[in-house]
Amino acid sequence: MRKLFFLGFLVAGMILVTEGKGYFEFNVTELDHIEELEFGFSKFSSNFNPLMVGLTLIRGAGSKGAVCLDGTLPGYHLHRGHGSGANSWLIQLEGGGWCDNIRNCVYRKKSRRGSSNYMEKQIQFTGILSNKAQENPDFFNWNRVKLRYCDGGSFSGDSQNKAAGLQFRGEKIWRAAMDDLKAKGMRNAKQALLSGCSAGGLAVILRCDEFRNLFSGSTRVKCLSDAGLFLDTPDVSGGHTIRNLYNGVVQLQGVKNNLPHLCTNHLNPTSCFFPQNLISQMKTPLFIVNAAYDIWQIQSSIAPPSADPSGYWHECRLNHGRCTPAQIRFLQGFRNQMLRAVSGFSNSRKNGLFINSCFAHCQTERQDTWFADDSPVIHKKAVAIAVGDWYFDRAEVKLIDCPYPCDRSCHNLVFR
């Protein structure tokens, strides 16, 4: 049975209704905050007693210049592993969009995306972070960490704007967090997995080979990018919405020197912020989980209101069921571009893929899409099983779905 998850808008925020079980009101006013869904969906998952994990601020980070946009200390949530997972570590990089100009970043520093003063003191660990074997069969007893995102530049910037009181220190936050976790036992890891969703999924691709170098050669180290395959593609007006956004981030936040040099040696820095120009050069094994019709990219990159002043795409961008045949053909073209972007990458046996034909975004932290009785599947394999098979070398995993509308297992997102 196909699932639809409905979202409605209020003046003060956004309401999520899932499977008719209830709603959760988000205190946001724009679609760019689609990563907020992870909190809402877990609230109504079958897990009525999720693990709550407290926030740890990185006390030594300030002396290293590793601070959030507003200068507060960065932080993470850590749940210790046990048994066979006691020496295994999973690091999840939080997502949450970007800020590409002073105005957006000043706005952002008054939220949990720019200041630890506004971060939740406890968060739910669900999906790939769950501590229950029936919900997270391969990683439930690992040391599991969620690194909070408060720099607005995918953990990659290193600059400041004194006049606006802004610190762009994402790369320093990354290094301070890794140093702190190494001191807490991660340096002795036998196995490690760096994962992340959305802007965190992009950060995984940017930081993956650095992560590998933190460990000895005998440690199994791999990376997982969920909904991080942001494509350098024109919007519906022929403009370059996402390229302009990324160019703003790279220039404002001083990202250039923290990008992979194999890329910047022959491409400009903004091009090297796009995963399609990085993934084939990576040395560390990488698994990509992505919806072929990524709902964030449809709403914020392909068909944002700024590129659609007539409103022709308004209904389609909120509900794929209201797309015209011509709009669906356009979106099929986007899927084809995504498949071309991963074609060379997928030729390497060390890499893995799970690209399902869903209208979704971030599928590893939500329990219903990671591992449940009715999770999305490709060839009867759920995301959790696909990732586990790849990580532990149980099987080569290169799963690409047939085009929409063939997949009846999707948990599609619909807004209203």
Residues with a catalytic annotation lie at 198, 294, 361
CA dist 409 and 340 (Å) reads: 24
Give the dihedral of Cα atoms 248, 252, 254, 256; nearest 10 deg. 20
Pairing of strands 411-415, 3-9: parallel
CA dist 243 and 359 (Å) reads: 22
CA dist 169 and 271 (Å) reads: 21
Tracing tokens 């391969």 back to the chain, one arrives at 138
Pairing of strands 143-147, 88-93: parallel
b/e map 199-225, b = 16+ CB within 10 Å: bbbbbbbbbbbbbbebbeeebebbbbb
Q: Are the C-beta atoms of 412 and 361 separated by less than 8 Å?
A: no
Q: What's the start-to-end Cα distance of the chain, in Å?
A: 21
Q: What are the residues facing 147 on neighbouring strands? A: 76, 93
Q: Which residues contact 271 (CB under 8 A, 6 or more apart)?
A: 232, 263, 277
Instruction: Kindly list the strands in the beta sheet with 3-9, ordered across the sheet, starting from the edge strand earlier in the chain.
Output: 23-26, 14-18, 3-9, 411-415
Tokens of 100: 């590409």
The continuous run of DSSP H or E covering 159 comes out as strand 159-161
Tokens of 38: 């992870």
Q: Are the C-beta atoms of 189 and 215 separated by less than 8 Å?
A: yes
Alpha carbon 326 to chain centroid, angstroms: 29
CA dist 332 and 328 (Å) reads: 6
CA dist 274 and 8 (Å) reads: 31
